[in-house]
Chain A
Amino acid sequence: MTKIWLTLVVIFFSFAAHAEALRIVTSLDSLEAKEYIAAFEQQKGVKVDWIRLSAGEALARLAAESTNPTQDVWFGAPAIEFEAAKSKGFLASYQSPAIKMIPAAWRDPDGAWTGIYFGAIVFISGKGVIPPQSWQELLDSRYHNEIVVSYPYTAGTGFTVLNGLLASMGVDAGLDYSAQLDHNIRRYTKSGGAPIIDVGLGEAGVGIVFEQDAIRKGTSRGFPITVTVPRDGVPYEIGAVAIIKGRDSPEAKTFMDWIVSLPAQNLMHAWYRTPLHPRATLPADVKATWKANLAPLDVAWSGAHRQELIQQWREQIGK
């Protein structure tokens, strides 16, 4: 019957038709991103189409679409990932008075990306496990087959850990340490937050994760875990946002200015993130702030050497 075919054709056309809106790729988790984006839509009256992709997936997508970008903004991933995108020319430079409210140390000097939050790596321990206090303690045999951490090549978290270790110990010593740590690793995970669930469910003893994730996905949910801050160097990330080159949507700039503004930055503490706006409210319960013994971080250097460092790690560990 022609009716059925007609119906199909109508369905097809409804697929093709779409209104223009600001397109955001976010590597924050869906629930959190949704809240920021909804607030932005409401406060600025801009309609947003958005999608959640992990940093790696987002970069792969930017690369695949580089000749014909379909997205306007990449929102919420470690700055190191943005360096990779910047070096491949995927990002548009943007600076404005609003963005200058963020201290210069936490922005790209060329304006390709802007920091929006700070996050530190901590240890989490499950019930009945002695919480480790330092990286050296993690090598102890009591943690044999107990530790879970994400792969440095699949998760921003995993790379932040590796990068911090290599930066504070030196590349060779850091790789040696990683190989020793590997003896105690129960499993590596694809996503950065997965160790929280492993430890929370008692499937592993110790996890290495971002503190904001540990609190939000772990302790605040009721998972029985303890957070400890490594004494001998805290790897950390600067979470960033950037405009993707190509579509030149004016709303992208509106979003950039808004996300660094006080109203937006004040949304972050509810998600246990440490915002970078100097006057923004800091999250309660967070143990590792920038006052902790931070591992050195050179975003541009690490971004440029990312592949190399990961390659060396994979050769060393064989995974």
Chain B
Amino acid sequence: MARTDWKITAWFFGATIVVSMFILYPLGKVFGATNLTHFFDCLTTSYFIKPLWNSVMLGATVALAGTLIGFLLAYAVERSRIRGAAFFDTLCTIPVVAPPFLVAMAAIMLFGRNGIVVKHVLGGKELFSVYGFWGLFITETLAYFPTALLVLKGTMRAMHFTYQDAARSLGATRWQTFVRVTLPLAIPGITSSLLLIFIESLADFGNPLILSGSYQVLSVQAYLQMTAIYDIPGSAALSIMLLAPSLLVFVIHKYVVSRKVVTTITGKSGASRASSGLGSSILGYGVCTAISASVILFYGMILVGAVTKLWGVDASFVFSNFAKGMQMGWQYVLRSVAIALASAPITGMLGMMIAYLVIRTKIPGRSLLEFSSLLAFAVPGTIIGIGYILAFKEPHWFLPVTLQGTGWIILALFIFRNMPVGLQSATSGLAQIDKTLEEAARSLGASPTLVFRRIVLPLLMPAFISGAIYSFVRAMTQISAVIFVVSGKWNLLTVFLLGLVENGELSIAAAVGVVLVLIVLLALGILKFLVHRWQVRSLVKAVWI
């Protein structure tokens, strides 16, 4: 952009200040707690190096599998016009909705050595130990492929199909069109999804906590080092190790994306939806059915757990788990919903603004801003949690109140921890919107803020909605970071749920988990309804003006 006006500059400074305060400062607090000696101690300790390798291998495999599944699903749902797409789509949002450790429990019930599949299908022969790589691979892929789906759906929606139409009318087969046109256009989304899932897998500890067994991963080791040995320096050193692969992936991502960016939304001509061929329809159905079946299998297990007397042992039908769970946990439900609802729009908007500042302005330091924003997601939740305690346990000159112990700290943590997802999907969305559109508006006299409001925002609505939805569900289901900043008054459903799982209240935990899923699905349903009714554009106006 030729000229940067003062409003955009002011946004940039605002974004820089909040990101510094709520991401860099807490991280600095943690990383300031370690030193080189600790770091090298860890590098030479076998029980830290092996988990590092394990984490990277697991993250890479889960990222590949999750992205592949997510891509096929997104393509099927958004492009192939298969029947029942909405149904598959809804089913596939379920994994993002439930706390991962319930899936881990379901995995044990299915694939454990006494599990249903092993006992009744495989005749008691364990194909793999659920407490190890395969258990983690399955549960994490199932937990994180929806991330790929969300990101790639945004990409697919933002992709106008005039190019595909052109390719087809020039005689390319559907397959050629897919490989030569659709796939390259989806590269930014695919890369984003790989990056996000890799990092999610690295930072995940809900699943490894229950399933890691002999296959130890770094996030759990960092967590244990912090929570169990009270060794903040050691844990900080471990998280630097954990951060390194994430950073590497991030750099690769930038390199690949910057080479392959293709813009498809321009001011010219209308676009059509591509029709799908028989082959891709069959593939679409196949993938949708297989994934849906897995989701139904795992989450069906949780549902079974919720209505049986003792999950895994006593299968007699009871309904009392719901009553018990809600009697004990209704106030956690209210708190979680309130905080998740408050954080979602702010998170989505912030992510979008930062994406715009990063992609569309030439302000020096914008990559640093993007990098800092992504840090909150790349660092394991535990480290953020401890960082928030260290940073906000007392008032500062720049923040004259104590956040610790209030709902504010939880809200801030959710906003900054979840914002990178909105940022990523807005970034890949923006990469596809041709600059000439904005330049046209500028040349007609619109200010950069007006351009953002009237042109970028409406075009990025899918990305914004993805970001906000994602942030809502993460706020409802996240635990690794938030477990440190909850208090007696401001406690959350997920923390309550983990307590239940750890204490053997398996059926009550399952019931509470089911309620959690239902609440989130209900909220998502209402949101979708509102978005359709209210019109996307007026929603943007309402929030923005």
CA distance A18 to B335 in the complex (A): 14
* A151 touching B503 in the complex, CB below 8 Å, given contacts A16-B407, A64-B389: no
Are B328 and A16 interface neighbours, CB within 8 A? no
Are B406 and A15 interface neighbours, CB within 8 A? yes
Q: Which stretch of B83-91, B181-189, B225-233, B521-529 is in the interface?
A: B225-233
Are B504 and A200 interface neighbours, CB within 8 A? yes
CA distance A34 to B389 in the complex (A): 25
Contact of B224 among A34, A51, A154, A224 (CB under 8 A): A154
Contact of B312 among A64, A67, A201 (CB under 8 A): A201
Q: Chain A contacts of B113 at CB under 8 A? A: 202-203
* A49 touching B504 in the complex, CB below 8 Å, given contacts A16-B408, A68-B393, A154-B227: no
CA distance A293 to B346 in the complex (A): 60
Are A49 and B488 interface neighbours, CB within 8 A? yes
Q: Which stretch of B239-247, B293-301, B451-459, B479-487 is in the interface?
A: B479-487
CA distance A84 to B230 in the complex (A): 10
B207 interfacial contact with A, CB 8 Å: no
CA distance A24 to B487 in the complex (A): 9
Are B406 and A16 interface neighbours, CB within 8 A? yes
Are B406 and A223 interface neighbours, CB within 8 A? no
CA distance A31 to B226 in the complex (A): 25
Report the minimum CB–CB distance from A90 to chain B (whole Å): 11
Binary flags per residue of B477-504, CB closer than 8 Å to A gives 1, else 0: 0000001101111110001100110111
Contact of A61 among B216, B229, B394, B484 (CB under 8 A): B484
Binary flags per residue of A53-70, CB closer than 8 Å to B gives 1, else 0: 110110111011101101
Are A15 and B407 interface neighbours, CB within 8 A? yes
Report which residue of B112, B401, B499, B503 has the largest number of chain A beta carbons within 10 angstroms of its beta carbon.
B503
Are B503 and A31 interface neighbours, CB within 8 A? yes
* A65 touching B488 in the complex, CB below 8 Å, given contacts A11-B338, A193-B502, A223-B310: no
CA distance A8 to B226 in the complex (A): 35
The chain A residue sitting closest to B506, CB to CB, is A197
Are A201 and B112 interface neighbours, CB within 8 A? yes
B257 interfacial contact with A, CB 8 Å: no
CA distance A221 to B321 in the complex (A): 13
Q: Chain B contacts of A18 at CB under 8 A? A: 405-406, 489
A97 interfacial contact with B, CB 8 Å: no
CA distance A23 to B545 in the complex (A): 42
**What is the total of A-B residue contacts with beta carbons within 8 Å?**
159
CA distance A69 to B87 in the complex (A): 50
B138 interfacial contact with A, CB 8 Å: no
Are B214 and A31 interface neighbours, CB within 8 A? no
CA distance A92 to B443 in the complex (A): 69
Contact of A222 among B310, B338, B389, B490 (CB under 8 A): B310
Q: Chain B contacts of A67 at CB under 8 A? A: 393-394
* A217 touching B503 in the complex, CB below 8 Å, given contacts A57-B483, A319-B47: yes
- Chain B positions 530-545 with a Cβ under 8 Å from a chain A Cβ: 542-543, 545
Q: Chain B contacts of A155 at CB under 8 A? A: 228
Are A153 and B229 interface neighbours, CB within 8 A? yes
Are B389 and A61 interface neighbours, CB within 8 A? yes
The chain A residue sitting closest to B311, CB to CB, is A201
Contact of A221 among B310, B401, B406 (CB under 8 A): B310
A165 interfacial contact with B, CB 8 Å: no
Are A196 and B112 interface neighbours, CB within 8 A? no
Are A23 and B313 interface neighbours, CB within 8 A? no
B309 interfacial contact with A, CB 8 Å: yes
CA distance A223 to B488 in the complex (A): 32
Q: Chain A contacts of B490 at CB under 8 A? A: 15
Interface residues on A, range: 35 or more
B15 interfacial contact with A, CB 8 Å: no
B42 interfacial contact with A, CB 8 Å: no
Contact of B229 among A190, A202, A310 (CB under 8 A): A310
Report the minimum CB–CB distance from A226 to chain B (whole Å): 15
Are A23 and B386 interface neighbours, CB within 8 A? no
- Chain B positions 51-106 with a Cβ under 8 Å from a chain A Cβ: none
Q: Chain B contacts of A14 at CB under 8 A? A: 407
Report the minimum CB–CB distance from B362 to chain A (whole Å): 30
CA distance A225 to B114 in the complex (A): 15
Binary flags per residue of A170-200, CB closer than 8 Å to B gives 1, else 0: 0000000000000000110011011011001
Q: Chain B contacts of A48 at CB under 8 A? A: 488
Q: Chain A contacts of B502 at CB under 8 A? A: 29, 191, 193-194
Are B503 and A193 interface neighbours, CB within 8 A? yes
* A21 touching B488 in the complex, CB below 8 Å, given contacts A196-B504, A222-B314, A318-B47: yes
Contact of B386 among A60, A218, A314 (CB under 8 A): A60
CA distance A57 to B220 in the complex (A): 14
Are A60 and B230 interface neighbours, CB within 8 A? yes
Report the minimum CB–CB distance from A234 to chain B (whole Å): 22
The chain B residue sitting closest to A34, CB to CB, is B328
Report the minimum CB–CB distance from A82 to chain B (whole Å): 13
Q: Chain B contacts of A49 at CB under 8 A? A: 487-489
Report which residue of B46, B114, B408 has the largest number of chain A beta carbons within 10 angstroms of its beta carbon.
B114
A–B Cβ pairs within 8 angstroms, 19 of them = A1-B545, A4-B542, A11-B342, A16-B401, A18-B405, A29-B499, A29-B503, A31-B505, A49-B487, A51-B487, A56-B228, A59-B230, A63-B230, A64-B386, A64-B390, A70-B405, A151-B228, A202-B113, A318-B46
Please give me the 7 A-B residue pairs with the lowest Cβ-Cβ distance, nearest first.
Answer: A49-B488, A202-B114, A15-B407, A217-B504, A56-B228, A154-B228, A29-B503
Q: Please give 17 more A-B residue pairs, beta carbons under 8 A apart, in addition to A23-B488, A56-B229.
A: A4-B542, A15-B411, A15-B490, A16-B407, A18-B489, A21-B489, A48-B488, A54-B228, A64-B386, A70-B487, A153-B228, A155-B228, A193-B502, A193-B503, A201-B108, A223-B313, A319-B47
